[in-house]
Amino acid sequence: MSYVDEVLARVQKQNADQPEFLQAVKEVLESLRVVIEADEEKYRKEALLERLTTPERQILFRVPWVDDKGQVQVNNAYRIQFNSAIGPYKGGLRFHPSVNLSIIKFLGFEQVFKNSLTGLPIGGGKGGSDFDPKGKSDREVMAFCQAFMTELYKYIGKDEDVPAGDIGVGGREIGFLYGQYKKITGLYEGVLTGKGLTYGGSLARTEATGYGLLYITNALLKDHGTSLEGKTVVVSGAGNVATYAIQKAQQLGAKVVTCSDSNGWIYDPDGIDVALLKEVKEVKRARLTEYKAARPSAEYHEGKGVWTVKCDVALPCATQNELGLDDAKALVANGVMAVCEGANMPTTLEATQYLQDNGVLFICGKASNAGGVATSALEMSQNSERLHWTFEEVDSKLQGIMENIYKNISEAAKKYGMEGNYVAGANIAGFLKVVNAMEAQGIV
């Protein structure tokens, strides 16, 4: 049996109840075959793939807090410190009822490669809780965040592990988490990113994941002789990533006609009104039915449906496995040219294969949504320097990083005989740097 197959079997056996984690490992190891098999005995002797697929540390804890009725609630929480070969653990916190060990491990594993691709010195980690901020009062969210940090603070630090936001963790939550960290430790340090501008946050961090997604999408299209100018784009999600993806797509001359949340989706043939979307989602924290109510040109549909809309470019920006095989078939039938992932692992393995087999340009999230964590690393640099950079300075660094990621993943794919396979390119380019650092540091 090949070394890759041995490790896949081992990971499967040890994590049989963790489908998302298994999916992420399978995708990565399959595309690393060509690299591993060129020097299989060395990698096997060093147990390199076992080390790469096993987190350095897994922290599981409970979070007790009191709701507005005086009832004590208890949530499960996680911080997975996956790999610190190239820098301190870095990766977001997700608060969503679906959160479990499998989801946090898949996200942490992906983060290792993503962070490597940014070219910045950050290792991979991820955390979160099954707490659902939806429908909670600000006081309840604060009580939860304080209780969560009261345990988490023991394991993080500006040079050890620097969490950020993710689904359900935005500026409000980061503020409460930071306040509690500071109160307990007495340290005013860059221990979290995505902070508010008045207390150490970076300009352009809020926009970074969505903007970065569009910078790499445009670089991809330009490399194939076209650009976003005049293209029709469909976006899923209506959160941080989706909102700023829509904004930047419009700035680059595209028309974005959809967005969605977990209840339904909007089709707006006049183009999504970003100011209205922000008002509904960021200010009122309401559902997309409110967008429809304020916008005569828009249609609202319950459930899923974004991928049935005819488009040139599709950008899944909501959550994992939201674009399946039937969705991929609908996109191809409608002539989609490119799919670039804003969310983490939004496309299933079968859907990815179908898109690639049908000539659709496809960039996976660990490359295309790396702008968020890259800008988080820029926030860490500013915190260390105790300086603030301008929006333009951060944005132009972000654009440079995304264009560089595109160059690196396309060159890696070409070098290993898989030109145009940006999934393989991303996995290989991310892997080589991490493995080089792991080998240099010995068996630790």
Mind telling me the catalytic residues? 126
Residue with smaller CB distance to ligand NDP, 4 or 395: 395
Residues 6+ apart with CB under 8 A from 405: 117, 118, 119, 216, 367, 370, 426
Which residues 6+ apart lie within 8 Å of 52 measured at CB? Answer: 83, 112, 431, 434, 435, 438
**Residue 194 Cβ, how far from ligand NDP at the closest point, in Å?**
7
- Is 247 a binder of ligand NDP (CB under 6 A)? no
> Closer CB to ligand NDP, residue 317 or residue 428?
317
Binding mask 143-172 for ligand NDP (x = CB under 6 A): ----------------------xxxx----
Residue placing its CB nearer to ligand NDP in the complex, 76 or 185: 76
Q: Extract the tokens encoding 133.
A: 């901020």
Is residue 315 at the binding interface for ligand NDP, with CB under 6 A as the rule? no
Tell me how far the alpha carbon of residue 333 is from its chain's centroid: 28
Helix 391-415 and helix 371-385: axis angle, to 10°? Answer: 130
Residue 261 sits in the site that holds ligand NDP (CB under 6 A): yes
Question: Smallest gap, in angstroms, from Cβ of residue 43 to ligand NDP?
Answer: 29
Select 171 or 420, whichever has its Cβ closest to ligand NDP.
171
Query: Left, alpha or beta for 201 (phi > 0: left; psi -120 to 50: alpha)?
Result: beta
CB atoms within 10 A of CB 118: 26
User: C-alpha distances in angstroms, 59 versus 76, 128, 418?
Assistant: 11, 11, 38
**Interface with ligand NDP by CB under 6 A: which range of 19-27, 47-55, 141-149, 260-268?**
260-268
118 DSSP 8-state letter: T
Q: Closest separation between CB of residue 2 and ligand NDP, Å?
A: 32
Considering only residues 341 through 370, tell me which ones interact with ligand NDP, judged by CB under 6 A. 342-344, 369
Candidate residues 319, 348, 368, 383; the one interacting with ligand NDP per rule CB under 6 A = 319
Question: What is each CA distance from 259 to 89, 141, 167, 180, 298, in whole angstroms?
Answer: 32, 26, 16, 34, 11
CA–CA distance, 374 with 126 (Å, rounded to integer): 15
Minimum CB–partner distance for residue 369 and ligand NDP (Å): 4
3-state helix, strand, coil in the chain (%, to 5): 50, 15, 30
Residue 24, token pair as written in the block? 């992420």
Would you give the binding string for ligand NDP spanning residues 263-282, x where CB under 6 A is met?
x-------------------
State the Cα–Cα distance between residues 356 and 338, nearest whole angstrom: 10
Question: Closest approach of Cβ 347 to ligand NDP, in Å?
Answer: 11
Nearest position to ligand NDP, beta carbon: 239
Rounded to the nearest 5 degrees, what angle is found at the Cα of 345, between the Cα atoms of 339 and 346? 60
239 is a contact residue toward ligand NDP (CB under 6 A): yes
Q: Which is nearer to ligand NDP, 76 or 226 (CB)?
A: 76
The correct pick among 128, 237, 425, 430 for binding ligand NDP (CB under 6 A) is 237
Does 175 bind ligand NDP (CB under 6 A)? Our answer is: no
Select 263 or 384, whichever has its Cβ closest to ligand NDP: 263
Closest CB to ligand NDP among residues 86, 241: 241
Q: Which is nearer to ligand NDP, 107 or 220 (CB)?
A: 107
Size (the chain), residues: 444
Give Cα 359 distance to the centre of its chain: 25
Q: Does residue 318 touch ligand NDP according to CB under 6 A?
A: yes
Residue 116 in contact with ligand NDP, rule: CB under 6 A: no
What does DSSP assign to residue 228? S
**With binding defined as CB under 6 A, does residue 212 bind ligand NDP?**
no
Q: Closest approach of Cβ 320 to ligand NDP, in Å?
A: 6
How far apart, in Å, do the first and last CA atoms of the chain sit? Answer: 27
List the x/- string, 369-388, binding to ligand NDP by CB under 6 A: x--x----------------
Q: Which residue has the tokens 């829509």?
A: 246
Cβ–Cβ < 8 Å for 246, 268: no
Q: Shortest Cβ distance from residue 263 to ligand NDP (Å)?
A: 6
Nearer to ligand NDP, 27 or 438 (CB): 27
E strand or H helix at 15, and its extent? none
Is position 240 an interface residue for ligand NDP (rule: CB under 6 A)? yes
Residue count, binding to ligand NDP (CB under 6 A): 22
At 254 the three-state DSSP class reads coil
Q: Which of 54, 227, 262, 334 binds ligand NDP (CB under 6 A)?
A: 262
Q: What is the DSSP letter of 305?
A: -
Footprint on this chain of ligand NDP (rule: CB under 6 A): 165-168, 209, 237-242, 261-263, 317-319, 342-344, 369, 372
